[in-house]
Structure 1
Amino acid sequence: MGRANKVVLAYSGGVDTSVCIPYLKEEWGVQEVITLAADLGQGEELGPIKQKALDSGAAASLVEDGREVFVTDYVFPSIQANALYENRYPLSTALARPLIAKMLVEAAEKYGADAVAHGCTGKGNDQVRFDVGIMALNPNLQVLAPAREWGMSREETIAYGEKFGIPTPVKKSSPYSIDRNLLGRSIEAGPLEDPMTEPPEEIFAMTTALAETPNDPEYVEIGFEKGLPVSLNGQALSPIELITQLNEKAGRHGVGRIDMIENRVVGIKSREIYEAPALLVLVHAHRDLESLTLTADVTQYKRGIEETYANLVYQGLWYSPLKAALDAFIKETQGAVNGVVRVKFYKGNATIVGRRSNNSIYSPDLATYTSDDQFDHKAAEGFIYIWGLPTRVWAEKNK
C-alpha cells in the first residue's frame, strides 16, 4: 500500500466507519480524512451523521442526495433488464454500490484526494462492488479498506474508538446487520445464521405480517413508457414518488419479502432476508408487459441476457464492458414496451390480473376459439410436415 495523504471515506455513521477515521490517521499516516455520506433514501436524519464524522476527526463531512440519480440511472435500467439474482433477489442493495463508488471517485477528484476508503469487511459482497467499481472509474486511485485488515473484534473496535472520543453505541446493538435504502432493506446475521430459523416479525419494517394485512384486495395499475414505470393508477409520478408509493401499497399487503440462501461473490453461502416491495412488483409487471409487446424470439433470447446482467450487477461489474454492451441490447428492446399492467395485492401476493398496450402483438382474432377465429387451420398441416421433417428423416434412419 502506497502512502495516502488525503482520503475520501464512504461514511454511514456506524461504529466501523467512525473508527476508520482515527484509524486511517493514526495507523496508516493519512493526513486528512474527508467523509461522504450518500443519501439514497435510507430514511435516516443525515445531519447528526454529518456532525458525528467531524466529531470523530474528519477534516470535512459531505452529505449528498443521490436518490434521483439512484432511481433513474441504476434502478430503472435494472427493471428494464428484469434483473433478479438467482431468479429471486432484485438487487435492491447491490444497485446502490456502483453509485456510491461513483460519488467517492467524483469527490476524490474534486478535493484532490489520492485514495478512497470504505468500511467493508473481507467476507461480504460490498467490498468487491466498491473496489472494482472504483477501479473501473479511476484505476489510479488507491482503495483502502481498514476493516478488512485491522483484525479487531467488535468489542475491540468500540474500545479503539473510545480512545479517540467516539461514543460507545448507546444500547446493546441488535444482533442483526441491516442495510436500507429507498428500494428496501436487507437483513442478515444473528439468529438468521441458522437457515432453519424462521425470521421473527420484529426484523421487518416495510411489510405487514400476513395476519395483519387487509382482508380486502387492492388493485393498482402501473403505467410504463419504453419499459420505464411512469404512473400509478393513471397518475404520473416522479421516479422517487412512484417507488415510495408502491412500497407503501405493496408493503401494506405483506408483499415483498424474500428469504433465501444466497451465493456470495467470495464463494460462501449466506442466509439473507430482503424487503423490496416496489422493486419486486415492478420487475414482474415489466416482464409481463414484455410478454404482450415483444416477439417470441426477443423475449426468449432476452432471458439469458437478464441472468447475465443480474450476475454482473451482483458481482460488482456495473462499469464493465460486457454490462455496457448488454445495456445497449436491453435499451433496443424497450421501444415498444408501453402500456399498463394491473396488479392485485392480497395476503402477501402480488398477482398480475390484466395488461394492455397500444403496442400489443396479441391478436384476439387469432387467439379466439369462437366463430370470430381468423386463424387458417388448414395451413397448420403443411407447417407441421416441414417442421417435423428432420425428426422424421432421423427416425427412418435410426429406428
Structure 2
Amino acid sequence: MEKVILAYSGGLDTTYCALYLSKVMQLEVHAVTVNTGGFSEEELAVLQQKAQQLGLASHKVIDVTEAYYDDCIRYLIYGNMLKNGTYPLSVSAERLVQAMSIAREALAADAAYIAHGSTGAGNDQVRFDGVFQAMAPRIKILTPIRDQQLSREAEIAFLREQGIDIDFAKAQYSINKGLWGTSVGGAETLTSNTYLPEEAWPTPLTESLPLELAITFGKGQPVALEGATFGHPALLIQALQAIAQPYGIGRDIHVGDTIIGIKGRVGFEAAAPMILIKAHQLLEKHTLTKWQIYWKDQLSTWYANWLHEGQLLDPVMRHIEKFLEDSQQTVSGTVKVLLEARHFTLLGIDSPHDLMSSRFGKYGEMNNGWSGEDVKGFTKIFGNQVAIFHQVNQTVHHD
C-alpha cells in the first residue's frame, strides 16, 4: 500500500479524509497532528483515542510551539503586525507552520501522497497547497473534501457506513486555537451587520478588577512578565494569555480580502498578541528614530499581507526578517500595562535606550542642546524650498 501523510486535526473533515483515504483509496494512512500551542494534554489524549478508532497505520503529534514562535511569531512582534490594523494573523501564520511540518513528515516517510482537509471556499487550501508544492513538489496532493464538495451530513453518513459513529454534533461556532490567538466563526461572521454574542467567545469574561503588569523586552522579544522569566517566549505568551484573556481583552472581528478574491469576516480573541504588539510598538516609539519606524512600517505591512496569502517561503521574506531583526538592537526595556474589563492601557516604559532623555530637552518646555537663534536659522533653511516655490509661482498672497 502506498503511504499518505494526512494533516489531521480530529475534526469531521479530517476524520472523513482519514477513512476515505484508507477504505476507498486503499492507502496506508499516517495521520499527523501539528500542535502550535493550541492543544491541552487532555485534548491531545482525546485526539489520540479518535485516531485509534479509525484504525490508521499511525498517528503522531508534533509539537512545534517553540519553533512556531522562533520561525514566525517573533517577526510578527518585531513588525507590530496587524492585518488591516486589526487582526494579529493568528490562523494565517499557524497554517503555514503546520503545512511545513506536514511536508517534512511526508518527505521523511517517502510518502507517495500528502493530504489535507481544506474545503474549496477558504484561504487554507491555498496555504497548504502552496507549501506542499514548494517543499515536496514530487508528492501528489489529495484533498477529498474540496474535490468531492461534500456536505457535513454526507461525511457523517459515510463514517457511519464504515462503523465510525464519533459524535460530531455541529457546534454553533467554529473554534481554532493556537499560540497566537483563537479564531471564532459562526452565523454572525457570515454577514456584514452582526457581531458575535457573549456566548460565542471561547474564554468567558470573568475578570474585571484592574491589574497592572510589567512586560520586559530584550532586543524586541518578550523575555519577562512581572520579572519572571519562562525559558522561552512561547511560554511567556501562554502565561500572559491565561492572565489577560479572562478580561475579554483582544476580542474583535477581522474583515478582509481572502486569497481567492472574496471578502471575509472572522472573529478572534487574542489578548496576549494584542497586548504584546501594542506594548512592543510603544517601546519602539521611544527607542527607534522616526525613519527606522517609517521603513519598518512599510516592510511590515507588506510582510503581513504576503504571509496572510500563504507566501512565507518566498525568499524575500527572509530578507525582510533580517531587516526586522536588525532593527531591534535597541528595543529593550519594560512596558507597564493596566488590564481592565474588555480593554488595556499602556502606562509607560522604562528603557536605557529611551530617546526621550531629559538630557536633550523637555518637549514643549525647555531645551539643552540648542539656542533660539539656532532654531531661527534651521527653520529658515528647512522651509527655504517651499518658500521659493510659492514666491516663484505666486501661489501665496502677501499683504
User: Shorter chain as normaliser: what TM range?
Assistant: over 0.9
Structure 2 CA distance, aligned partners of 1:87 and 1:357?
26
- The question of 1:220 aligning with 2:213 is answered yes
From 221, 225, 231, the counterpart of 1:232: 225
Query: How many equivalent pairs are there?
Result: 390
Query: 1:373–1:217: structure 2 CA closer, same or farther, 3 Å change rule?
Result: farther
Shift of 1:88: 0.8
Question: In the alignment, which of 90, 97, 114 is matched to residue 88 of structure 2?
Answer: 90
Following the alignment from structure 1 to structure 2, what is the Cα–Cα distance between the partners of residues 52 and 308?
A: 40
Tell me, yes or no, if structure 1 residue 12 matches structure 2 residue 9. yes
In structure 1, what is the Cα distance between the partners aligned to 2:368 and 2:328?
30
Is 2:181 aligned against 1:193? no
Per the TM alignment, residue 189 of structure 1 is displaced from its structure 2 partner at its CA by 2.7
Q: Which residue does 1:287 correspond to in 2?
A: 281
Partner of 1:163: 161
CA contact (8 A) 1:253 1:347 kept: yes
Q: Which residue among 374, 379, 387 is the counterpart of 1:379? A: 374
Cα distance in 1 between the residues matched to 2:188 and 2:292: 44
Of the three residues 319, 335, 343, the one matched with 1:325 is: 319
After TM superposition, the structure 1 stretch with the greater mean CA deviation from structure 2, 114-123 or 256-265, is 256-265
CA distance in 2, matches of 1:90, 1:278: 10
Distance apart, 1:265 and its partner CA: 1.2
Q: Distance in 1 between matches of 2:290 and 2:316?
A: 24
Q: Deviations along 1:19-76, whole A, 9 cap, x unmatched?
A: 102222455x352111001222223421232232232242111112222222232212
> 1:49 corresponds to which residue?
47
Matched, 1:69 2:64: no
2:393 counterpart letter in structure 1: N
Q: Counterparts of 1:273-352 in structure 2 under 5 Å?
A: 273-352=267-346
Q: State the percentage of identical aligned residues.
A: 32
Structure 1 unaligned spans of 5+: none
Instruction: Write out aligned runs for 1:37-186 (5 A).
Output: 37-44=33-40, 45-169=43-167, 172-186=169-183
| Alignment pair present for 1:392 and 2:387 | yes
Structure 1 residues 105-127: Cα deviation after superposition (integer angstroms, max 9, x where no partner): 12112211122111001111111
Q: Which shows bigger deviation, 260-269 or 135-144?
A: 135-144
- RMSD of Structure 2 on Structure 1 (CA): 1.9
Contact kept in structure 2, 1:40 and 1:182, CA below 8 Å: yes
Structure 2: gaps spanning 5 or more residues:
395-399
TM-score for both structures, normalised by structure 1: 0.92
2:347 equivalent in structure 1: 353
SS of equivalent to 1:362: coil
Judged with a 3 Å threshold, the aligned counterparts in structure 2 of structure 1 residues 162 and 391 are, in CA distance, closer, same or farther, namely same
